[in-house]
Amino acid sequence: MPDTPLLIAGLGNPGAEYARNRHNAGFMAVDVIHESYRFSPWRARFQGQLSEGALGGRKTYLLKPMTYMNDSGLSIGPAMRFFKLPPDALVVMHDEIDLAAAKLKMKKGGGDAGNNGARSITAALGPDYRRVRIGIGHPGEKHRVHGHVLGNFSKLDEEWLVPMLSAIAEAAPLLAKDDDAGFMNKIALLTQPPKKKKDAADGL
């Protein structure tokens, strides 16, 4: 178990008008983690909303930057420096247009794939933090991307989004153990469609 605390940051835009946007998937994921475990009430710190608790026995901070997505690093950078955390003690949760809707991937380091929130964090801290990328799908044409990410999740989206957010929360203690592969595997198990019951006559 790592001795250093973990900081999980969810990305999004503040304000009720953005609350259900696809771009706010990171906020939503962190909110469900907050609701699922014993975390302190949100309070204003680091130009964001901060909460403290524990996951899997490891001290954990949850942070939602209130700087708007494109300036997420202005909140996360000062928080990481204040708590004296190394880059791999940061997990950032954000939407990802380059992943199909309902897909989820983790990666550490690398490019920002056009996500301005990740670009801002990399500018503040370097690229070596961990990312939970929540696929929201690509609208197909570049000029439609802005409207897609700032559009609300549809009723159809809710059918995969709600189980996905629940699975992220349930698997979150594995992030605290730095077991990113285990985190991914658990989510895959929790979100797979239920298998049809075999007919009793099968094999007779």
170 three-class SS = helix
- Provide the 8-state DSSP code for 152: B
Closest CA to 91 of 136, 30, 166, 161: 30
Dihedral pair phi/psi, residue 133, rounded to 5°? -100, 115
Identify whether 143 is a catalytic site residue. Answer: no
* Active-site residue, from 23, 34, 94, 148: 23
Helices 180-191 & 155-176 angle (0-180, nearest 10): 150
**123: burial class by Cβ within 10 Å (0-12, 13-18, 19+)?**
middle
Residues designated catalytic: 23
